[in-house]
Amino acid sequence: MKKENIYILGIESSCDDTSAAVLCNDSILSNVVADQKIHAEYGGVVPELASRAHQQNIVPVVHQALEKAGISKDQLNAIAFTRGPGLMGSLLVGTSFAKSLAFGLNIPLIDVNHMQAHILAHFINETDHKTPPFPFLAMTISGGHTQIVKVNSHFNMQVIGETIDDAVGEAYDKSGKVLGLGYPAGPEIDQRAQRGNPKAYKFTKPKVDGLNFSFSGLKTAILYFVQRETKANTNFVQENLNDICASIQYTIIEILMYKLKLAVKQTGIKHIAIGGGVSANSGIRKALKEAESKHGWTTYIPKFEYTTDNAAMIAIVGYLKYLENDFSDFDVMATARLKL
Ligand code: KG4
Ligand code: ZN
């Protein structure tokens, strides 16, 4: 007997990307992302502007996602949306839109935890991507979070380490600001790092207990380093930008890999997945690939389009919850802080 197809619309609006995706079972039919260029002028996300841009983007983005998927809204089985964590004003736009559409279509509403979605993006069915077996370790590295999570099953996750201050993406973006780069600086630092010498400059690594991280000290160290060197040579940054970026990236990857190795040692789990914006980084991808042959790990690296914020990852969580009949009440509220 042929299995019935389940169509889920996913909506993501937790920060500065408005995204909608349509999934047929665990396969993606469309994944539309409208990013908001406006924040670059301010060197960071301005919550009020983000919320306003979501309001402008959400209808066309959802429309485009349905059109690209080649289905009509009446074929949808459920609507999944990001409930949190994120910026309240941004979350509210996606939440109210998802509620009204699900109510109008008389179909179930499914709330999704954004951080869980970064991890469960690995369950999207892709021909060239294998799915991690339970239990596995997931390191979520983004502009808002840095966590190591023990994933026992789809919806049983345990945070075993996290940042005590800045997220790793923030370390990239704030270092970029010191160097005069645009926002977000992660991708440019990564590009430049590949052309520079990673051992040119040495930054001290933080000493944090157990599996926790700290990145605020690194940002300050880079600031003082740049101030000191520019005093001696006003063109220091311009003349050595690639080497500075390579050295910053080298330090960050060393910190992440050190904690991952510790997590493997403590748990005995050697299946390692990454997720979140910083998982697009070439340095962490290379380090994980090397760890496969060096330490016998099996690593799971998401496709680029599922690294930064996107609705495909929200839709896959929607599908997994749909299979468990795990639906939300219509009075569900957006929540800026939401634990795993
Ligand atoms: O997951 P994401 O889109 O949003 C949050 O939930 O925070 O992550 C955005 C973060 C930004 O800090 C950005 O600089 C960083 O991901 N990022 C990168 C790279 N691509 C994006 N950081 C380092 N290397 C990259 N290639
Ligand atoms: Zn994210």
**Ligand 1: centre distance to CA 308 (Å):** 6
Lowest mean pLDDT among 28-42, 109-123, 167-181, 255-269: 28-42
Locate the domains of the chain by residue range.
7-122+307-323, 131-301
Pocket test for ligand 1, best of 90, 172, 252 (most atoms within 8 A of CB): 172
CA nearest ligand 1 atom 8, residue? 277
Q: pLDDT tens-digit profile of 132-148? A: 999 999 999 999 899 99
pLDDT of residue 40: 80
Sheet holding 27-35, edge to edge: 27-35, 17-24, 7-12, 78-84, 109-113
CA nearest ligand 1 atom 3, residue? 308
Lowest mean pLDDT among 44-48, 111-115, 149-153, 265-269: 44-48
Find out if CATH 3.30.420.40 is the number for domain 7-122+307-323: yes
Binned at pLDDT 50, 70 and 90, residue 48 comes out as confident
Q: How many Å apart are CA 113 and CA 47, to the nearest integer? A: 19
More confident: 340 or 228: 228
pLDDT of residue 128: 87
pLDDT of residue 42: 77
CATH code: domain 131-301 is 3.30.420.40
**Ligand 2: centre distance to CA 121 (Å):** 11
Q: pLDDT tens-digit profile of 50-66? A: 889 999 999 999 999 99
Residue ranges of E strands in the chain: 7-12, 17-24, 27-35, 78-84, 109-113, 136-141, 146-153, 156-162, 271-275, 298-300
**Ligand 1: centre distance to CA 315 (Å):** 20
pLDDT > 90 fraction of the chain, expressed in percent and rounded: 89
For ligand 1, residues with CB inside 6 Å are 15, 142-144, 169, 172-173, 184-187, 190, 276-278, 280-281, 308-309
CA nearest ligand 1 atom 20, residue? 187
Enumerate residues 6+ apart whose C-beta is below 8 A from 117.
12, 82, 313, 314, 316, 317
Q: pLDDT tens-digit profile of 99-124? A: 999 999 999 999 999 999 999 999 99
Enumerate residues 6+ apart whose C-beta is below 8 A from 171.
215, 218, 219, 252
Average pLDDT taken over every residue of the chain: 95
Segment 178-206 shows an average pLDDT of 96
Give the type of residue at 99. Answer: K
* pLDDT for 297 beyond 60: yes
**Ligand 1: centre distance to CA 309 (Å):** 9
Pocket test for ligand 1, best of 17, 18, 142, 177 (most atoms within 8 A of CB): 142
Enumerate residues 6+ apart whose C-beta is below 8 A from 104.
none
Ligand 1 atom showing the smallest separation from residue 280 Cα: 26
Binned at pLDDT 50, 70 and 90, residue 159 comes out as very high
* pLDDT for 189 beyond 70: yes
Give the type of residue at 127. Answer: T
pLDDT of residue 37: 80
Binned at pLDDT 50, 70 and 90, residue 191 comes out as very high
Segment 288-293 shows an average pLDDT of 97
Segment 4-9 shows an average pLDDT of 96
3-state secondary structure of 147: strand
pLDDT of residue 45: 84
* pLDDT for 1 beyond 60: no
Fold matches, 7-122+307-323 and 131-301: yes
